[in-house]
Amino acid sequence: MSEIDVIDAVLDRHRRDGTRLMQILRETQEELGWLSPATLTAIATGIGWPRAKVGGTASFYSFFHKRPRGKYCVLWSDNITDRMLGNADLMDAMCKKLWLEPGRVSEDGLVSVNTTSCTGMCDQGPALLVNYRAITRMTQSRVGEMVGLIRSETPLADWPAEWFAVEDNIRRKDILLDHGLAPGQALAAALKRGPENTLAEVKDAKLRGRGGAGFSTGQKWEACRTAAGSGDNPAHYVICNADEGEPGTFKDRVLLTSYTDLVFEGMSIAGLVVGAKKGLIYLRGEYRYLLEPLESALAARRQAGLLGKSILGTEFSFDIEIHLGAGAYICGEESALIESLEGKPGRPRIRPPFPVTRGYLDQPTTVNNVETLAAACLIATHGSACPAAATAGGRAFTSIPMA
């Protein structure tokens, strides 16, 4: 397939919609290796955007490459925990074995080695990304084996599977992790209770955001619910902020890995309350390896009647799509995240207006953390008097000790 055929296929897959530019750029780069000037021009033409606007988005994110990168792009996670575990010595050993300076592409174009910010694998470092696939628990022995595989140009699919293993490392399960809910149970309870009463329970539970700000979830949902949409196609949206990037954090990774249904169900409950028919998950680029499992989980929920039209035989319709970030820490801030979802550089917006009145595509939008949405399921099921509600103002998720 020619380069233009690859680009056309990606554009068609995303309906040539400029708001999906981040995904168009990522998928094109995965196919072609980098984003050449000609590639960016073809994408701009395909979505009907100015070339400079497309180039601006491609330049903003560290995971997009406007110059040729190595066939193997190796990025060592660089944070305090990885440093304590010896990542600097391991990276130095790799560069020496490859006769390569950090930050440079080898003369034959085979490999580049550099650092990146925290990859969310702090409990199982030293970690790195190879072509944006996570590899954990690096050792001197693995470095030697990896150098050999790179030199022999062995495809990543043929590398040892255990290298790509990402563990949850849960040491104790408390209220949220030991919920015992079956898929659809919380959503069925919310549908039976109705959006107004479900909102009342969330407010009574004093559930607050788990992304750091601690803002009242019920208050945010109510503001979004009562806000009027704008333009010819008014709508409301639910966004799950899965762009955790603080060094040492990985709770959202665990929830997305082993409690996927709880997160998706929480988004659906939020959609019911605020009157949204569409939800979007903004997944940090470092969690690229989770994309296919999450897409499979969404497909299973659609098959079970828990997503899509007429959910559980009711008039409620709601669906979810996943958007992957591309290495921009600032996109953890909700307005920068929304800018990114719209295909733009992730720069924070001036507020007011706030996202609950003018958010994604200038429509009322609630942006909630992964854990916040998961906790909402327990409240929807058991009401504000459930054990989870007793800790809703603080934490319902037990910290996971470092391995």
Residue 390 pLDDT grade (very low, low, confident, very high; cuts 50, 70, 90): very low
Where does the pLDDT of residue 403 fall: very low under 50, low under 70, confident under 90, or very high at 90 and above? Answer: very low
- State the Cα–Cα distance between residues 81 and 193, nearest whole angstrom: 45
pLDDT digits (tens, 9 = 90+) for 253-285: 999 999 999 999 999 999 999 999 999 999 999
Instruction: Tell me the C-alpha distance between 227 and 71, whole Å.
Output: 48
pLDDT tens digits along 222-249: 999 999 988 888 999 999 999 998 888 8
User: Between 213 and 209, whose confidence is greater?
Assistant: 209
The pLDDT score that the predictor gives to residue 230 is: 86
Among 133-142, 171-180, 345-354, 371-380, the least confident range:
171-180
- Residue 69 pLDDT more than 80? yes
Query: For residue 211, what is the DSSP state?
Result: S
The Cα 325–Cα 341 span in angstroms is 9
Map out the domains of the chain with their CATH numbers: 3-60 (1.10.10), 72-164 (3.40.30.10), 185-390 (3.40.50.11540)
Average pLDDT estimate for 368-372: 96
Percent of the chain topping pLDDT 70: 96
This prediction's pTM: 0.93
pLDDT at 388: 57
pLDDT, tens only, 23-53 = 999 999 999 999 999 999 999 999 999 999 9
Predicted local confidence at residue 402, as pLDDT: 39
Which residues, other chains included, contact 218 with Cβ-Cβ below 8 Å and sequence gap of 6+?
A: 199, 200, 202, 203, 204, 205, 206, 207
Nearest to 253 by CA among 186, 169, 153: 169
Residue 400 has pLDDT above 70, yes or no: no
The dihedral region occupied by 183, where left means phi > 0, alpha psi between -120 and 50, and beta the remainder, is beta
Quick check: 396 pLDDT over 70?
no
Q: 12-16, 94-98, 383-387 — which is least confidently predicted?
A: 383-387
Q: Indicate if the pLDDT at residue 174 is higher than 90.
A: no
Which amino acid, one-letter code, is at 243? Answer: D
Say if residue 398's pLDDT is above 60: no
| 310-353 per-position pLDDT tens digit | 999 999 999 999 999 999 999 999 999 999 999 999 999 999 99
Tokens representing 227? 């806000």
d(C-alpha 260, C-alpha 163), whole Å: 23
Residue 175 has a pLDDT of 86
User: Which tokens sit at 258?
Assistant: 């082993």
More confident residue, 351 or 296: 296
Q: What is the mean pLDDT of the chain?
A: 93
CB-side exposure of 382: number of CA atoms within 13 Å?
A: 17
Q: Give the pLDDT confidence score for residue 395 in this predicted structure.
A: 47
The C-alpha atoms of residue 60 and residue 51 are separated, in whole angstroms, by 14
Whether the Cβ atoms of residue 126 and residue 87 lie closer than 8 Å to each other: yes
Q: What is the pLDDT of residue 389?
A: 53
